[in-house]
Amino acid sequence: MIASDKGHVEVVMNVMSQYGTQYVEVIGFVRSNGSIDEEVSTNFGNDFDIETYNELITKMQQFPTVFGNDT
């Protein structure tokens, strides 16, 4: 799978998952080898602005208190 930052990520799919669109958000747990065990996924469709989404992810990391991630 290609991440929003254009990096490659190995995802171990949940047996119930069906990726029906070009863009998918995967939430899961990182394994020791760097792959992700999928917990849940959301189809984002085939017409999704991945660059803007990646910008949002970057801003969430820069400003955690704004996005409620300041733990």
Show contacts of 10-13: CB within 8 Å, 24+ apart. Answer: 10/34, 10/35, 10/36, 11/35, 11/36, 11/38, 12/36, 12/37, 12/38, 13/38
In sequence order, what are the beta bridge partners of 37?
12, 29
Number of domains in the chain: 1
Q: Is residue 22 part of a domain?
A: yes
Residue 38, domain extent:
11-62
Q: Is residue 6 part of a domain?
A: no
Q: Is residue 68 part of a domain?
A: no
Which helix (H) or strand (E) is 1 found in, with range?
A: none
Q: Is residue 34 part of a domain?
A: yes
pLDDT of residue 67: 85
Q: Is residue 69 part of a domain?
A: no
Give the pLDDT band of residue 71 (cuts 50, 70, 90). Answer: low
pLDDT average, residue stretch 5-19: 92
pTM for this one? 0.77
